Chains A and B, each alone.
Chain A
């Protein structure tokens, strides 16, 4: 536990910048939208609102080359090479919900029978500095999904804005080794107490829908898991879906992807991995034309089962939703997760 002057936070970022490619929140110069992306230490804005884009794109890019091959027709021989991104990365100022999302993605790509080597290369040699949310943002509901406002695990360092200074917590051996060279003063129990109070106050500042009952989401989880939701509710939700895939793209925990081969002008072929979405009809279509989830409402059902069912919790040790609220912002049909929860709860109360 260390106490850091606000001016000294940049020192940490600059030190990280020497060994890692630095990613952090910054405000777009043109229109002020917050992004989490490659950034220089000077441009990081720890007070910026939650980034519009999920930081998962650092380890799971929207479009990525994972393999290259060149087939020599005459020699009937193919040269194949895996493509890995081995650049060390530092995620600076990661919000707790996004950190939780990263853990979900870790468990999908690394925690099952087959390890995704492309993902592992992204993820190794990564340094994570989390940032506690002392004030929630308008669309957030991480208190409903046990994802915040303060990070619990998975970080190397964690920052909390105490007002006149930052409380710095160490979460890993790597973080400890890194921070010891700075000789920052130790924090006292009083500072820890101050952080706890700030977090508790933050929890009370969430939108009413998230605070009037923390069971707001969990009650719906029960319903989704047991399947006791009327067809009409899913049809209503499905009718509002325009199948854009935005909910999956902005979700910090979604791992849907597709694989394509693309020829290059140079003559070789690249195997590309792109984000995909269970919203799309083609996502679940099988060879031969059968589609088990052709109706839109079935795809919506599948999505929210993935986000809210207990079986997902058993598989990944936590709900599939981290409560960042991004899906509510980008959904053209107004069926981001909070609204869907509202529709289902409305049905429960009728």
Chain B
């Protein structure tokens, strides 16, 4: 009777599983048949998560540079004394989207209450924050509007710029199932993906023009007067739509007007429709998310069963981490730190004033060498390649808190170990707002502390104890401060496969799909700025993140079979690769796996060629941070890289 129910903590799908636990070791995995999200299915990562949980590549003892292994007490004292040397503006906390809600809440509380800093942010791309901003501005909900269970109820399904079957395979399989059952599945992307191959309609747009495509569909709907014009700010939105160059849409985006009309017509006729786009590992810009959302608002596909504007998180607790306020300007539940009422509520609960200076993300602080950053606390760094290595090296103080060994440890002055997620209780919020409890399944394999307990100890060392007796206490505090989590408690969660917030005391079953009180159009910030190829730089280079994120994922390197499967491409292209179409390969004069030099205006890199039909002529596709050389190239374009899925760089590809 050693199979214990739990939640898979690889990606944001939040599948249910059982772990076979014997003493302190995990010896097998089995899916949970009745789990509402996964329905008895797991992907290659989920089926082999026990390999990660059995790894011996753990941090097992606190460590202080120049002192070696020390006790927790000594390490904490060192951490506290180091951080106390600096002003709040000089300290930053780098939270992990893989940490549980309780751990992230405690960290946020430590940063704001104890060290008085608003410099707290997540180790994830900005994409999900863009999604939350748009959805909050449009509906008041900072999370997925739809529900994964509703995929089968949607008549029209749109996947935008996302290799969803590779990134979130179980959601991908649900879309596959719906498509086979009669739903119209449409993929809009710049590259052929597995989901595109199974779609009834694949719309191939030029890189960087997805926003215009969605606006063109909305333009067509508005022109035909099919749209729902009752949402707020419609007049401003209409003015914006007038700027869409519909007459030259094919030239601008590569999409035929007939294709635009097809999607528009089917979207309007359907009773229910949902859209899925990547958010997190590889997100979209604010304006693109706004365009997608606005289209669904105009089509009247907000707040109904089977409908949803659905950002898909690639990391397991990305949604939950934002819910816990791990952002410079957010408190829990997307309450703004600038909102006087929310701030007062927290100050009353915590008994002290919160910092008021405008915080910055760690990415901002690290990328700007003139920033005041001097001390950084990193939790569970996931990337296998350390960005900003030089900057980290130059910081006077770096602390690392994590369960598994990785390269960031080398930069740390203090290292503090924590438990894995099966060694303590914790909740995780999946991409559809489902808060799930992963109960403790075994005692810690090594003498390590849960993170929420460690944070409490650090706070106590600063004479501001949090007095948590259990992870359940942390959730109770979260519930007391967060309207969307108001009704959530361990007592409730232990009987269910999670609850989708908003969950109030009157609404214990949670909310499957969000019905906003008011729907507003969300106006974009910037005009269209699609990058164009030039004579000197004739190829548009796309950056792939989702599909290859797991290559360099630190915890993936602690497994065997998932590592083998995700590293398959690396074995063939050890120097990294750039994927191009067969026609382009012929023109350049190269064959598969031949070396080339990719030259852009600000940087260049060497890579191998992958010849693929998935890439359209005139475009190229390079995986993100797959090799140091590629990492250096992309760092020169970090402003473009931050655009996520739509990042496009004009390049020249030379045979060497």
Contact = CB atoms under 8 A, between A and B. Distances in A.
Nearest to A331: B41
A235 B588 CA distance: 32
A172 to B, nearest CB: 28
A33 B32 CA distance: 8
B656 interface: no
A62 B29 contact: yes
A243 interface: yes
Nearest to B593: A289
Interface stretch (B55-63, B85-93, B327-335, B449-457): B55-63
Contacts of A40: 1
Contacts of B190: none
A337 B33 CA distance: 18
Contacts, number: 134
A332 B169 contact: yes
Nearest to B495: A30
B547 interface: no
A120 interface: no
What is the predominant secondary structure among interface residues of chain B facing chain A? Answer: mixed
B44 A62 contact: no
Contacts of A43: 1
Interface in B153-175: 165, 169-170, 172-174
Contacts of A53: 3, 28, 30
Given A243-B44, A280-B564, A282-B565, A38 B172 contact: no
Contact of B51 (A32, A63, A243, A249): A63
Interface string B133-148: 0000000000000000
A333 B165 CA distance: 11
Interface size class of B (residues with CB under 8 A): 35 or more
A289 B569 CA distance: 10
B402 interface: no
Interface in B9-45: 18, 20, 26-34, 40-44
B28 A244 contact: no
A37 interface: yes
Nearest to B170: A332
A62 B50 contact: yes
Contacts of A38: 1-2
B32 A262 contact: no
A58 B44 CA distance: 22
A18 B60 CA distance: 39
B198 interface: yes
Nearest to A27: B1
B572 interface: yes
A285 B172 CA distance: 25
B561 interface: yes
A26 B1 contact: yes
B32 A39 contact: no
B572 to A, nearest CB: 5
A61 B28 CA distance: 8
A244 B561 contact: no
B560 A37 contact: no
Contacts of A333: 173, 176
A33 B560 CA distance: 28
Contacts of B60: 265
B3 A28 contact: yes
B43 A332 contact: yes
Interface string A30-51: 1111010111100100000000
A264 B572 CA distance: 30
A281 B568 contact: yes
Contacts of A285: 568, 571
Contact of A330 (B1, B41, B50, B568): B41
Interface in B420-471: 446
Nearest to A26: B1
Given A258-B560, A274-B561, A33 B33 contact: yes
B138 to A, nearest CB: 32
Interface residues of A, number: 47
A39 B20 CA distance: 13
Interface in A331-349: 331-334
- Which of A260, A263, A264, A282 gathers most chain B CB within 10 Å? A282
A187 B358 CA distance: 84
Contacts of A244: 41-44, 46-47, 169
A177 to B, nearest CB: 29
Contact of A239 (B31, B48, B198): B198
A156 interface: no
A265 B561 CA distance: 21
A246 to B, nearest CB: 6
Interface in B302-335: none
Contacts of B172: 242, 332
Contact of B18 (A35, A265, A276): A35
A281 B565 contact: yes
Contact of B55 (A39, A64, A262): A262
B602 interface: no
Contacts of A39: 1
Contacts of B266: none
B151 to A, nearest CB: 13
Contacts of B48: 245, 274
Given A63-B54, A244-B44, A332-B173, A35 B560 contact: no
B350 interface: no
Contacts of A62: 20, 27-29, 50
A249 B20 CA distance: 14
A36 to B, nearest CB: 10
A328 B7 CA distance: 22
Interface of B: 1-3, 5, 18, 20, 26-34, 40-44, 46-48, 50-51, 54-58, 60, 165, 169-170, 172-174, 176-177, 180, 194, 197-198, 446, 497, 560-561, 564-565, 568, 571-572
3 tightest A-B contacts by CB? A332-B173, A62-B28, A282-B564
16 contacts: A33-B18, A35-B30, A38-B1, A53-B28, A63-B26, A63-B54, A239-B197, A244-B47, A245-B44, A245-B47, A246-B42, A262-B56, A265-B56, A274-B48, A330-B41, A330-B42
